[in-house]
Amino acid sequence: MKILPLRIMGKSLFFWLDVFKLLYVGSDTKRGKWFQKQNDPIFGKEIRLHISNRTIIKKNRVTQENGNGVMFEDKSIENVNNIIWATGFTPSF
pLDDT digits (tens, 9 = 90+) for 8-19: 999 999 999 999
**Which of residues 91 and 77 earns the better pLDDT score?**
77
pLDDT digits (tens, 9 = 90+) for 39-49: 888 888 898 89
Instruction: Outline where 1-93 has alpha helix (H).
Output: 13-19, 30-37, 46-52
pTM over 0.75: no
Q: How confident is the model at residue 59 (pLDDT cuts 50, 70, 90)?
A: confident
Contacts of 47 (CB under 8 A, 6+ apart): 3, 56
Rounded to the nearest angstrom, the gap between the alpha carbon of residue 13 and the centroid of all alpha carbons in its chain is: 16
